[in-house]
Amino acid sequence: MKKNFLVASSGFVRMIVFFVLFATCIGAEANNVHITNVTNTNPGAADPIITFDIAWDNSWRVSTGPNNYDAVWIFVKYQQVPTGSPNCESYQEWHHSKMTNVPGDFSVGAPLEIVYVGDSMGIYVQRSADGVGNVSTTSVTIRLNLDVPVAPFDPEFNFKIFGIEMVYVPQGDFELGDGISTNTFNSISITNTTTTLSSATVGGGIHQTIPSAFPKGYSAFYSMKYEVTQQQYVDFLNTLTFDQQVTRTILTSTQIATDPGAGGLCAMISGCLNRNSIKLIQEGVNNSRAGVFACDFQPAPGDPFNSVNDGQPIASNYMSYGDLLAYLDWAALRPMTNFEFEKISRGPLARLGNEYIWGNLNITQAQSTSLNNPGTASETSTVIGDGLSAYGSLAANGPLRVGFSATAATTRETSGSSYYGVMNLGGNVWEMVAGGSNSANTGYQLTYSSLGDGEITSAGAYNTPNWQMYNSISYSTLGCGCCSSYIKWHMEMRGGSFSSAATTLRISDRSKNATSTCGGGPDFGFGNTGDQRQSDVGGRGVR
């Protein structure tokens, strides 16, 4: 029997560390989700059967009001282990495991149910009946679609199980635009009869027709409950190859291959500015061993890496659009669209001019300089009030813990929540969404079925068809006189950030909609261009 040290990481509740004995080495990674007691019950056999316990906080299912529920998206990565390797040690690549498509291969205890997906990339675990509160420890069994490894590898894999909290957004009509906010879409409704949208109909600076298949928000989908956290981005980095890690951090191959020292090396921004504390803590070896990353808000060696003080649940900032798309592809999700952003925020309610994400005109400022228990799972603002959100702070400050404004006693307004219970859509970090001005009629190719396949390229980029960052147009086509090509970015930034003005937190504000730029990329008012990492930009995905 082999012993493996396992860590189930929680985005904003607590860190769980435990030992377990079984033949296969398994780790669990989660955000505000506790995944424990993970066991492969048929080691060495085809289609491994994995059992584990799951629990999470602040769960709900309601059949009135928003008529929706939260869920956990569960997916698995696997790694081959060289024969005879002690303690399951392996430097082989991690890959995404599909699950079987036989309902009898899965089970979950009350009060939960399992929801299957057509591509078998994972499962949802969610409440089966109305209820509100924490989900206590519940047993889950899943079955993976994997053959038995052959020599020179052991017959058992290493596994990592991941859980991402999601929110179900039901099918239904909603209103787009508010007629007042900056660059707002026209005040129209999206219904089951909405097909293509002409530029004149949708407005908001859109130049070409938006095709019928583009996700406009009417159909049901799941959205991440929280923005990607720094722990989630660390978990992502720790399943990548050396070369992929170079692409998805600011570090060069030389830096990743060099001992980072007892204090580690800041991976997303030099000096770990703006509360981003993701660090390289163990060097890799080019093309043969990846580096190891961790969170370190309270710096090592005085405080250990990945301690309870190390900012795991803080929103992951300094993410480029390429970083976000790679993460979503890896997690088998897809980008949110600009229309879905407004559906999640407003729900089926009538539009209100200049309304914030939580549905009214009240707002209260939270800042990273005024916190209780900073960097911990219990980080909260010292300020409370209606529309509590992180905005209007100095550029030198940073984002807060995801979900910092919500408690068991808060309402939509006091927690700054969207209509459907999605947190921090207003403030904290800008949300990167698919869309854009679409001058070449190619920026709206995304469809509901354009889902990540769990794998990214060897260079660390997303590889899912219809996910577009930009297109390049000859200057002679559009009359650009300053460059040989015009770059049209097929994304926008919505919802504001910890350092943006209050007006940017409005549901229909599109003050950062992507516009064409000469050369390397968009200028969103930061004074530079390109797919760069910014202190107040992050995001989330949907499925």
The answer to whether 24 and 43 are in contact (CB under 8 A) is yes
Q: What is the mean pLDDT of the chain?
A: 90
d(CA 519, CA 391): 31
pLDDT at 294: 98
The torsion of the CA quartet 175, 179, 185, 191, rounded to 10 degrees, works out to 20
Using CA atoms, how far residue 153 sits from 44, 82, 146, in Å, is: 11, 4, 14
Strand-strand pairing, 107-108 and 131-143 = antiparallel
Which pLDDT tens digit goes with each residue over 488-541? 678 899 999 999 999 999 999 999 986 555 555 444 443 444 578 999 999 999
pLDDT at 529: 46
Tokens of 277: 């504390």
Q: How far is C-alpha 366 from the geometric centre of its chain's CA atoms?
A: 22
Rg (Cα) of the chain, in Å, rounded? 22
d(CA 483, CA 190): 38
Q: Tell me the DSSP string of 332-398.
A: T-EEPBHHHHHHHHHTTSPP-TT-BTTSSS--EEE-TTSEESTTSTT-EES---TTEEE-S--TTS-
d(CA 17, CA 6): 6
Given a cut of 50, the residues of the chain with pLDDT beneath it are 1-23, 478, 521-529
| pTM of the shown model | 0.93
Using alpha carbons, select from 90, 100, 105, 110 the residue that is nearest to residue 25: 90
152 upstream amide cis, omega within 30 of 0: yes
111 upstream amide cis, omega within 30 of 0: yes
Please identify which residue in the block is written with the tokens 């995905």.
Answer: 541
299 upstream amide cis, omega within 30 of 0: no
- CB proximity list for 519: less than 8 A, separation 6 or greater: 483, 485, 487, 529
pLDDT at 524: 45
pLDDT at 30: 58
